[in-house]
Amino acid sequence: MLLISVVLTSCQQEKEQAKNTEPAVAEQETPPPIIKEFGYDLTNFTVVRDTVRAGDSFGAILDSHGIARAKVFEISNKIKDTFNVARIMAGKPYTLLKSKDTTEKAQVFVYQQNQIEYTVVDFRDSITATKRTKPVKIVEKIAVGTIQSNLSQTFDDMNLSFLVAYKMADIYAWTIDFTRLQAGDQFKVIYTEKFINDTIPAGIGEIKASYFEHRSKPLYAFQFEDDTINNSSDYFDHEANNLRRAFLTAPVQFSRISSRYNLKRRIKYYGNKIRPHRGTDFAAPIGTPILATADGTVTKSERRGGNGKYVKIRHNATYDTQYLHMSKQAVKVGEYVRQGDVIGYIGMTGNTGGPHVCYRFWKNGKEVDPFKEDLPSSKPLSEEMQPAFFEHINPLKTKLDSTLFEPEPEEEPEIL
């Protein structure tokens, strides 16, 4: 027994000794993950992310990161045809890719115009500037709702983007007065939304089709490319009638008329004397966008007397429109604008007692009340394009018609 015990102890010691003398396995370092953005492997750089602040300039930003002024001038001059460095805006994000050595010298500047578009200025060896876009996935969605108070509140309650409501108001600008919606009005809308990396929302795309039941009257709208030469599209109803008119009824969306055209208006402040009002006032908060009510060329964009800051547009040989009391103009003389373009913003410049735009309308050089004029319609869809139009809208109309406003109640199970 003693001999067996000695042998077992010896074997155990040999195993422990062998275990302790086994060569150690070296732990392999896991390489850092490759992080790609803007077309670069960010692991090769020191990355600085920031936002353009008020007073910042392209030169000041690069200078603060080790780029000499002479080099900044060379870069700016070299890329001016692709990227105007003087137009960087406060609030826009930018990224600097810097060398990983002790100098940490800036090598690449990335300026993000929006969530999708960005410009890359690379000045490591040669100087280049390229405009790029992030990969975007377009997802089709459908929203269904019933008006309780107004369109914007309904969209807010449904946690939907207000931009969809804004686009719908633009589509139906001539057929629905969105300031007079009724509780119980219903809508269905097929629209697209953009996503970056499948998950990051990047804005609303286009409204492809919609159905609006206003005062129990059904109103369809379908987007269709009616000008293949200029690649422009418009909205038509289910019978191929154009929903757009030559003039919008109002230059401001979701506003109210605070004073109408009235040549016999009397003002108490002036002793009840007649003071003609040759415009229509639309009240809205300061800063609200003012829209061109029709296509045309800007003939005036200035500040003068009681008009304050204003814009005047020549639409054709017959019609002109004018927009008074702006906080600031957004267009210049000679600029061609399209119906619905922003031409300025609501303000209180000139003679005004509150924030509004005074909308004036000329026909053959005489100021008239646009609400009493038989204004022309927009061009109809040509007959040769109608077969393609009906083929295009058929699946969209089927989808709208088959979508219920409210889900049907489930049938209660039969009790046996």
pLDDT of residue 9: 56
1 CB-contact burial (10 Å; exposed 0-12 / middle 13-18 / buried 19+): exposed
Q: Which domains does the chain have, with CATH numbers?
A: 36-133 (3.10.450.350), 136-236 (3.10.450.350), 256-364 (2.70.70.10)
pLDDT of residue 276: 73
pLDDT of residue 398: 96
Secondary structure of the chain in the HEC alphabet? CHHHHHHHHHHHHHHHHHHHCCCCCCCCCCCCCCCEECCEEHHHCEEEEEECCCCCCHHHHHHCCCCCHHHHHHHHHHCCCCCCHHHCCCCCEEEEEECCCCCCCEEEEEEECCCCEEEEEECCCCCEEEEEECCEEEEEEEEEEECCCCHHHHHHHCCCCHHHHHHHHHHCCCCCCHHHCCCCCEEEEEEEEEEECCCEEEEEEEEEEEEEEECCEEEEEEEEEEECCCCEEEEECCCCCECCECCCCCCCCCCEEEECCECCCEEHHHCCEECCECCEEEECCCCCEEECCCCEEEEEEEEEHHHEEEEEEECCCCEEEEEEEEEEECCCCCCEECCCCEEEEEECCCCCCCCEEEEEEEECCEEECHHHCCCCECCCCCHHHHHHHHHHHHHHHHHHHHCCCCCCCCCCCCCC
Segments of the chain scoring below 50 in pLDDT:
3, 6-7, 229, 269-270, 408-410, 416
**Residue with structure tokens 């304050």?**
308
- Cα–Cα distance for residue pair 119/111, rounded to 1 Å: 5
pLDDT of residue 125: 86
pLDDT of residue 311: 97
pLDDT of residue 408: 46
- Cα–Cα distance for residue pair 132/147, rounded to 1 Å: 41
pTM of the predicted model, to two decimals?
0.58
pLDDT of residue 182: 82
**Residue with structure tokens 């000695």?**
6
**Residue with structure tokens 């003679």?**
351
DSSP bridge pairs for 50 = 94
